[in-house]
Amino acid sequence: MPRKEIPFVRALRLRREQVPSFSRYPFSLPAVRGLDELGLLEDGVTFFAGENGTGKSTLLEALAVRLGFNPEGGSDDLRFATVEQAHSGLSEAVELVPGDGLAADGFFVRTEGLFNLATEIDRQDEEMEAIAREVKKRSGVVMAGYRPMNVRYGGGRSLHAQSHGEAMLALLSHRLHGGGIYLMDEPETALSPLRQLALLSVMHRLVRGGSQLVVATHSPILLAYPGARIYRFGEDGIEEVGYEETEAYRVTRDFLEHRERSLRTLFSDDADDEQ
């Protein structure tokens, strides 16, 4: 159970009167400048899609900070800070419209934070082992009932002893229990296509267990999750689109269907150079 209550979120609102200046990051991003209220699916998946640099991570992080998560990722049972640099400041101008229920679990999955998260998990396990050894030495009492973090998070192996993709999938499969609110920033990074399919099934288990997911992604596999709401971030702000309208889907499909032609076009400058 969580140490404090986290609401499911019906919508995220920009309190425009709290914005110091729309000409400075993060408020200058088109996705933020035009933001009024963004509705989120309470019992399903909301995706943030769109080109690099359009503000998906910035907005997801503001949502995470508002919910009380560590901006680097983690949960309220695993907080750590290794980088002094704070979050973008957007969270202070954002308010959340709470949904009906309270989440029993929550996690912010961030690829860049995975290494630090793994280190923190190992550190906490080593600390507990040292305490247990000390207690046994002094009193002969064997401390039982402690479930190592590496079991809870990594399936029994240090996340550092797993490949990046294995560690990510282990974390998602073992730590996320359902009935919670889960934010994920490009969780497909380092996952093979097969493991992205496995991630889809993890997402489905979570949704069926009454979870709210908000996922920033470029993966045409993840975006295919049925019934999801997809927001495309772009130069004109944020708009809701269908799966087949996303760049992730269109560019991938076009490339696979017309591979030879795509490659010829991409490399046409090289061909000119050679003449």
Ligand X SMILES: Nc1ncnc2c1ncn2[C@@H]1O[C@H](COP(=O)(O)OP(=O)(O)O)[C@@H](O)[C@H]1O
Instruction: List residues binding ligand X (CB under 6 A).
Output: 25, 29, 52-58, 233
53 contacts which partner out of Mg ion, ligand X, none, CB within 5 to 8 A by kind? Answer: ligand X
Residue whose CB is less far from ligand X, 52 or 275: 52
Residue whose CB is less far from ligand X, 108 or 153: 108
For the bound state, the minimum distance from the C-beta of residue 175 to ligand X, rounded and expressed in Å, comes to 23
Q: Rule CB under 5 A: choose which of 57, 91, 116, 219 binds Mg ion.
A: 57
For the bound state, the minimum distance from the C-beta of residue 10 to ligand X, rounded and expressed in Å, comes to 23
Please list the residues that pair with 14 across neighbouring strands.
94
Yes or no: say if 12 and 96 are a contact pair by the CB < 8 Å rule.
yes
Considering the rule CB under 5 A, would residue 150 count as an interface residue with Mg ion?
no
Sequence-separated (6 or more) residues with CB below 8 Å from residue 261: none
Inter-axis angle of helices 114-139 and 164-175, to 10 degrees? Answer: 60
Sequence-separated (6 or more) residues with CB below 8 Å from residue 270: none
Residue whose CB is less far from Mg ion, 59 or 181: 59
For the bound state, the minimum distance from the C-beta of residue 29 to ligand X, rounded and expressed in Å, comes to 6
How long is the chain?
275
> Taking contact as CB under 5 A, which single stretch among the options 50-58, 96-104, 175-183, 242-250 is the one that binds Mg ion?
50-58
Residue whose CB is less far from Mg ion, 31 or 228: 31
- The closest alpha carbon to 218, from 244, 241, 189, belongs to 189
Paired tokens of 22 = 């729309």
For the bound state, the minimum distance from the C-beta of residue 229 to ligand X, rounded and expressed in Å, comes to 17
Q: Identity (one letter) of the amino acid at 207?
A: V
Residue with tokens 């929550």: 106
Residues 33, 150: Cα–Cα separation, whole Å: 42
Binding residues among 200-229 for Mg ion as defined by CB under 5 A: none
Q: Report cis status (omega within 30 of 0) of the bond before 26.
A: yes
Residue whose CB is less far from ligand X, 65 or 121: 65
If phi > 0 it is left, if psi is from -120 to 50 it is alpha, else beta; for residue 262 that is alpha
Residue whose CB is less far from Mg ion, 149 or 232: 232
54 contacts which partner out of ligand X, Mg ion, none, CB within 5 to 8 A by kind? Answer: ligand X
45 contacts which partner out of ligand X, Mg ion, none, CB within 5 to 8 A by kind? Answer: none
For the bound state, the minimum distance from the C-beta of residue 60 to Mg ion, rounded and expressed in Å, comes to 8
Yes or no: say if 108 and 73 are a contact pair by the CB < 8 Å rule.
yes
Which residues contribute to the site for Mg ion (CB under 5 A)? Answer: 56-57
